[in-house]
Amino acid sequence: MDDTRVTDAAARPAGIAHGTRVLITVAAAVVVLVGVWLARDILAPAAVAAVVVAIAHPVRFPLERRGWPAWLATTVVVVVAYAILGVLAVLLVVASVQFVQLLPDYVDELEAAAQSVAEALASLGLSEEASAAAGSVFDPDALVNLATSVADAVLGFATAFFFVLAYVIFMAADAARFSRPSGLFGSAEADAIGTRYFRGVRRYYVVNATFGLVVAVLDGVVLWAIGVPIPLVWAILAFVTNFIPNIGFVLGLIPPAVLALVVGGWPLALLVIAAYSIINVVLQVLVQPKFVSDAVGLSLSITFFSVVFWTLVIGPIGAILCIPLTLLVRALLLEPDERARTLRRLSGDPAVIDS
């Protein structure tokens, strides 16, 4: 009997315990993410180019149906992608230049606002050090340093922009294979996952761009009407931060509210906060999430975590690319694996939740 047990045990294939597999998977993920972090200066522009090409790619289909050659349709895709990048670049440069030029004109007001905030906090019982630290937010030197950092960031963006332009050409040419009958991946299941992923990315950015444009126009008009300086800059900021899930509204609100406090005191600052809250809460909190949820199918918890996670991994651009990157991880690692249905359900995948 002992010999039989030994033989049966030897005949069974050696397996890895579940806990060990989890540890190996986590260790491999950490190694990959560290590699991504080290190569973020190269991978971040590539991710931007991939998203832009995914958005512009459907332009080729009606052209090919009309008999246009593939190379000419690809050229049109590249032109559309360049147009998208060009508009974004112009918006960022205009906003940055106006912001940098504004600060020297408000040095005295910034110093008065810093003193006012420090005194108000001290009257509430905060220590002198805490009050001074809070008031330092308005310190002119700190804000001038911020302006310098913004200018440096724009210069860095311009450098990365050339990489993005180059990536777009090659990615648009490779994406032409989607129009072939065999698809890109060569299997029906993989092609279905890829098609679903790219469709979700396109719908996500179309929805966000539409709502972002509406929010930006309304915010800019309100700021102009109540006398907040450079409303165009804050409108552009509202448009850009609309692509950052959950916390974008707060990031877009703080700068104009601070400037309103500097130039008009607490009444103007509170008016800006109230106006932003009404406009952005109605559109971004009550209406937009429904359309975004239908487009991507991610849970709110995963969405919020992805903002922090991808910002840490690839830098500030990760906050804007967090949804496509999270969807990519799910498409590559979870959707092809039937054993990952629980993780897909937790992520908010509608294909699993509705089944």
Asked whether the predicted pLDDT for residue 114 surpasses 50, the reply is yes
| Mean pLDDT value across the chain | 77
Q: How many domains, the chain?
A: 1
Whether the pLDDT of residue 187 is over 70: the answer is no
Residue 91 domain flag = no
Range of the domain at 294: 188-355
What is the model's pLDDT at position 12? Answer: 45
Residue 258 lies in a domain: yes
Q: What is the CA radius of gyration of the chain?
A: 25
What is the pLDDT averaged over residues 202-227? 89
Average pLDDT over residues 149-160: 59
The answer as to whether 262 is a domain residue is yes
Q: Is residue 52 a contact partner of residue 85, using CB atoms and an 8 Å limit?
A: yes
Query: Which of left, alpha, beta for 349 (phi over 0: left; psi -120 to 50: alpha)?
Result: beta
Q: Quick one: pLDDT band at residue 13, thresholds 50, 70, 90?
A: very low
* Structure token digits, residue 93: 């440069």
pLDDT of amino acid 218: 93
Query: In this predicted model, which residue has the larger pLDDT, 318 or 118?
Result: 318
Exposed e or buried b per residue across 329-348, where buried means at least 16 C-beta atoms within 10 angstroms of its C-beta: ebbeebbeeeebeeebeebb
C-alpha 166/C-alpha 189 separation (Å) is 31
Q: What are phi and psi of 17, to 5 degrees?
A: -60, 150
Which amino acid makes up residue 75? T
pLDDT at 128: 56
Specify if 209 maps to a domain: yes
Residue 194 lies in a domain: yes
Q: What average pLDDT does the segment 174-182 reach?
A: 64
310 has pLDDT over 60: yes
89 domain-assigned: no
pLDDT value of position 10: 47
The pLDDT value recorded for residue 198 is: 85
Least confident of 45-59, 267-281, 323-337, 340-354: 340-354
Work out the number of other CB atoms within 10 angstroms of the CB of residue 18: 8
In a domain, 214, yes or no: yes
Q: Give the residue-averaged pLDDT of 218-246.
A: 89
List the one residue out of 112, 92, 100 whose CA is nearest residue 145: 100
> Would the pLDDT of 221 be above 90?
yes
Structure-model confidence comparison of residues 101 and 277, the more confident one:
277
Enumerate the H helices of the chain as residue ranges. Answer: 2-11, 18-38, 40-56, 60-65, 70-102, 107-123, 128-135, 140-175, 188-226, 231-241, 248-280, 288-296, 300-314, 317-329, 341-347, 350-353
Per-residue pLDDT reduced to its tens digit, 78-88: 999 999 888 88
pLDDT for the residue numbered 225:
93
Lowest mean pLDDT among 6-20, 76-90, 277-291: 6-20
Q: Is residue 88 part of a domain?
A: no
